[in-house]
């Protein structure tokens, strides 16, 4: 008796009478429609590091698989030959500068003598040409010195971005050069992209619903283990061409990744949610059954008879199923005890047990790799 006192009204009917069922009224409710597409996580920035000069690799200064910071020193190549080259270029610059200084003195002396009977224009012209030539040699020597200093800087390979570093392809002691290929890759971590193809027809509908403001579109991610990623992202890019063999367009969303749960290259389900909820007749998903002919519900008439009603489903949430066709607002639908109901049978209706609401952000449609699905079967 104590158990019956806390049970729903539909479960307290005496035995032998019409089957007790729990019912709810089909009502119009705001439902955020969504569609799922197969996608991949992609880093917003990826860098493949290569050697810029030819030298032996002296040191590997990072731990593989960890996060590195921008400008962090990763590799150090053999520096002695490059330092020697810099010193030689500095000496060449000083030599040409000394010669230029002497040529300028000779030119100034010739210009002074030109004011006297002893001066000759030919000597002034020769001194001018020599001074200009040495000035050009100084510039060339300084340029070579700059190049040598750049090559010396290239012996220290630093991280150009913040991100997670991979496995080094070459270890210390090996000879590297620009043709050695990628030494290591770095991928940024926060935020991440989710890339997924969407049918062209769906993209057109999406643009119409959002009024051209695609960045307002909400994107969520379902991880490979089936769990829903806890942070929502936004759509930020629609490709400018259609893939001919599939008639799809590539969409891209930006998703925060502060806890590093999203991994570059990871296969996920991208959930594209409408900007605004849609008003639709909704019933609990538990009230919807299916057979070979399609989906149906049991409707209780005014004389308490159960009627089998064929319905067409729209997109749904884990708790609610939207009804596109087959029900009108206010009709009574069987939810609890539905296994005891037969078409045309008299039932004893009572209030259904409360439905458990999904967690925030769990409003999704049926999975799809090519477009939205109308399947809302329990």
Query: pLDDT tens across 88-110, in order?
Result: 999 999 999 999 898 888 888 88
Q: Are residues 150 and 161 in the same domain?
A: no
Whether the link from the prior residue into 166 is cis, omega within 30° of 0, is no
In a domain, 362, yes or no: no
Q: Which one, of 180, 179, 181, 183, lies nearest residue 166 by Cα?
A: 183
* CA atoms of 64 and 72, how far apart (whole Å): 14
Residue 57 above 90 pLDDT?
yes
Q: What is the mean pLDDT of residues 321-337?
A: 83
Q: Are residues 183 and 65 in the same domain?
A: yes
Domain termination site, one of 252, 273, 294: 273
In a domain, 6, yes or no: no
**pLDDT of 295:** 87
* CA atoms of 232 and 254, how far apart (whole Å): 9
The CATH number given to whatever domain includes residue 141 is: 1.10.287
- Domain that residue 121 falls in: 80-154
**Can you tell me whether residue 107 is helix, strand or coil?**
helix
Lowest mean pLDDT among 2-16, 19-33, 233-247, 259-273: 2-16
In a domain, 109, yes or no: yes
Helix 121-153 / helix 80-113 crossing angle, nearest 10 deg = 160
pLDDT more than 70, % of the chain: 84
Q: Are residues 168 and 220 in the same domain?
A: no
Confidence band (pLDDT; 50, 70, 90) for 16?
A: low
Q: Are residues 285 and 344 in the same domain?
A: yes
Q: Are residues 111 and 140 in the same domain?
A: yes
> Burial level of 195, CB count in 10 A (0-12/13-18/19+)?
middle
Q: Are residues 141 and 113 in the same domain?
A: yes
In a domain, 357, yes or no: no
Q: Are residues 71 and 176 in the same domain?
A: yes
Residue 307 above 80 pLDDT?
yes
Provide the mean pLDDT of the chain: 82
Confidence band (pLDDT; 50, 70, 90) for 264?
A: very high
The CATH number given to whatever domain includes residue 295 is: 2.40.420.20
304: left (phi over 0), alpha (psi -120 to 50) or beta: left
Distances (CA, A) of 314 to 36, 72, 295: 14, 53, 11
Q: Which one, of 90, 6, 27, 50, lies nearest residue 282 by Cα?
A: 27
pLDDT more than 90, % of the chain: 39
In a domain, 376, yes or no: no
* CA atoms of 213 and 332, how far apart (whole Å): 40
Q: Are residues 70 and 170 in the same domain?
A: yes
Q: Which one, of 227, 126, 260, lies nearest residue 134 by Cα?
A: 126
* CA atoms of 300 and 349, how far apart (whole Å): 8
In a domain, 40, yes or no: yes
**pLDDT of 119:** 64
In a domain, 339, yes or no: yes
The CATH number given to whatever domain includes residue 163 is: 2.40.50.100
Q: Are residues 135 and 181 in the same domain?
A: no
Q: Are residues 140 and 173 in the same domain?
A: no
Confidence band (pLDDT; 50, 70, 90) for 210?
A: low
Count of domains in the chain? Answer: 4
Q: Are residues 150 and 241 in the same domain?
A: no
Q: Are residues 174 and 201 in the same domain?
A: no
Record the tokens describing residue 284, joined without a space. Answer: 């609990």
In a domain, 5, yes or no: no
């Amino acid at each position: 008796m104590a158990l019956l006192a806390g049970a729903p009204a539909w479960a307290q009917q005496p035995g032998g009478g019409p089957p007790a069922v729990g019912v709810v009224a089909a009502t119009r409710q705001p439902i955020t429609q969504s569609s799922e597409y197969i996608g991949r996580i992609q880093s917003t920035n990826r860098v493949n590091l290569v050697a810029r000069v030819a030298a032996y690799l002296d040191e590997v200064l990072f731990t593989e698989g960890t996060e590195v910071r921008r400008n962090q020193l990763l590799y150090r190549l053999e520096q002695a030959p490059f330092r020697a080259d810099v010193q030689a270029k500095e000496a060449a610059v000083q030599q040409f500068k000394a010669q230029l200084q002497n040529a300028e003195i000779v030119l100034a002396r010739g210009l002074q003598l030109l004011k006297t009977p002893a001066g000759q224009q030919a000597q002034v012209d020769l001194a001018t040409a020599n001074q200009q030539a040495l000035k050009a040699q100084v510039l060339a020597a300084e340029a070579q010195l700059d190049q040598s200093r750049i090559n010396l800087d290239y012996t220290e390979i630093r991280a150009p971005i913040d991100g997670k570093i991979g496995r080094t392809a070459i270890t210390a002691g090996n000879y590297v050069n620009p043709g050695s290929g990628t030494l290591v890759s770095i991928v940024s971590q926060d935020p991440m992209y989710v890339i997924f193809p969407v049918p062209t027809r769906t993209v057109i509908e999406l643009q119409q619903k959002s009024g051209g403001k695609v960045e307002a579109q909400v994107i969520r991610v379902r991880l490979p283990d089936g769990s829903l990623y806890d942070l929502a992202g936004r759509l930020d890019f629609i490709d400018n061409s259609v893939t001919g063999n599939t008639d799809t367009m590539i969409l891209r969303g930006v998703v925060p990744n502060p806890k590093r749960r999203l991994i570059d290259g990871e296969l996920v389900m991208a959930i594209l949610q409408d900007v605004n909820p849609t008003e639709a007749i909704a019933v609990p998903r538990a009230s919807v059954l299916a057979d070979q002919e399609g989906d149906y519900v049991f409707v209780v008439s005014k004389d308490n008879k159960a009627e089998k009603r064929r319905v067409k489903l729209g997109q749904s949430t884990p708790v609610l199923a939207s009804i596109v066709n087959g029900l009108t607002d206010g009709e009574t639908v069987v939810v609890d005890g539905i296994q005891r109901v037969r078409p045309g049978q008299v039932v004893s209706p009572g209030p259904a047990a409360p439905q458990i609401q999904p967690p925030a952000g769990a409003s999704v449609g049926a999975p799809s790799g090519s477009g939205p699905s109308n399947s809302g079967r329990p």
